[in-house]
Amino acid sequence: MKSDANNKLWPFKPRITLLTSALIFICLLLVAILLKTVFKLLVQVPDTSILIGIVFLSLLPIILLLIDTFIDRGGSIEYKGVKINFAQVHQLTTVGFTVPINIGVPGHPVSDSGTTAIIDTLRSATSCNVVIIDLEDGQAWWETRLLVLLAGAARRGRPAKIVFVATDYTISNYFLGWAHANDLLNKLLFAHPQYLRSYHNARAAARQWELVGVVNPPNINDSVSPNPIMPPNIQPGGLAQRHSWMAFNNGLPNEFLPEQLLASELGELIEMRSGPRSITTIRLEELFRPLLHRDHIDLSWPEKGQLDNYFKTDDDFLAVTESGKYKTILSRIAILNALVKEMVTKE
């Protein structure tokens, strides 16, 4: 044991720490079982909640040891040749997928044919867990296009996190903040009266086509089909009928039909009439300020500054930058898990 053990939160070696955690888990589990089965206590507390509490308490020795290690190494974790620092986070996390400007149709209002490019971009974006929106100089993205992306992300559950960057004077890819896609969608829907109406219209029209199911390729409902298949009770002249060609792809349902219908209606009612609104850095603040997570670690900072910011936030994820430029999203638990794994391997 080191001479300064009295100044440590957990003065024991890693092997003892792991054994202690295991013993705490077993003892607490036995106590919980006795309290519930023999003494009939904690019967109103769900088993899941009890188990979560037991796991958390049993991990405390490991957490305390990791904190001591951080403090000792000034922001880098090292034990018997094992070292992990914030400059290596790209090995633990994903940088993310940068969505093309205006979701693939930049600079002009979307037409029905242009929605196909939007769907191709959505397919790529929803295959990732993190996507990057580059606002550039403030003219690259429109609110209507961001709404389409967020609608698809919220419905499919991916991407879960949206990172915003922009060009700040001469610095490109400058980190502005990140937020959860669901939260952003719920906020943006109320930024314009037509957004919410079009969103619900598109969802309702897509549900009508769900009643049709799969069709044979010769009977696909498109502009060349002499006898198009229509959902029952479809509204004449409604969104579902006017864009029936979007409903299928080689006989299979279009997996992005709600978003394609939404893009088409927003293009017709907003982009082609009153004109879209660009998302500048100022507009981003107006729309999403309470939702944006701005805490980050910059690799150009001293190690102490990186460490301070790491422990300052309660977020599960933390952005990593370099001289202000976005690098990746760091899972705070991932780096701790990586250290524990390496320490066990070395032992």
Co-location of 153 and 267 in the same domain:
yes
Determine the Cα–Cα distance for residues 93 and 82; give it in Å rounded to an integer.
19
DSSP assigned state of 40 = -
What's the domain range around 169?
97-289
Residue 183 counted as domain residue: yes
Residues 59 and 162 placed together within one structural domain of the fold: no
Q: Are residues 153 and 256 in the same domain?
A: yes
| 126 shares a domain with 202 | yes
User: Do both 217 and 276 map to the same domain?
Assistant: yes
Domain end point (choices 240, 256, 289) = 289
Q: Which of 39, 73, 107 is the last residue of a domain?
A: 73
Return d(Cα 235, Cα 328) in angstroms, integer.
Answer: 47
In a domain, 90, yes or no: no
Domain count, the chain: 2
Same domain, residue pair 124 and 269: yes
Q: In 3-state terms, the chain is what percent helix, strand and coil (to 5)? A: 50, 15, 35
- The CA angle 281-284-287, to the nearest 5 degrees, is 155
> What does the alpha-carbon distance between residue 229 and residue 233 come to, in Å, rounded to a whole number?
12
- Give yes or no for a contact between 98 and 82, defined as CB atoms under 8 angstroms apart: no
* Residue 106 Cα distances to 100, 114, 118, 159, 214, angstroms: 8, 10, 10, 21, 33
Coil, helix or strand at residue 91? helix
Domain boundary among 289, 309, 337: 289
The CB density around residue 15, as the number of other CB atoms within 10 Å, is: 11
User: For residue 82, what are the β-bridge partners?
Assistant: 79
- What are the φ and ψ backbone dihedral angles of 185, each rounded to 5 degrees? -60, -50
347 residues of the chain, pLDDT tens digit each = 344 455 566 677 777 888 888 888 889 888 888 887 877 777 777 778 788 888 888 888 888 777 666 555 444 544 444 445 565 555 555 568 999 999 988 888 887 777 888 889 999 999 999 999 999 999 999 999 999 999 999 999 999 999 999 998 888 999 999 999 999 999 999 999 999 999 999 999 999 988 887 766 544 454 444 445 777 777 777 888 888 888 888 778 899 999 999 999 999 999 999 899 999 999 999 999 999 999 998 988 887 777 778 778 888 888 989 999 999 888 877 766 766 666 666 65
Is the domain of 105 the same as that of 44? no
Do 103 and 243 share a domain, yes or no?
yes
Q: What's the pTM value of the predicted model, to 2 decimals?
A: 0.71
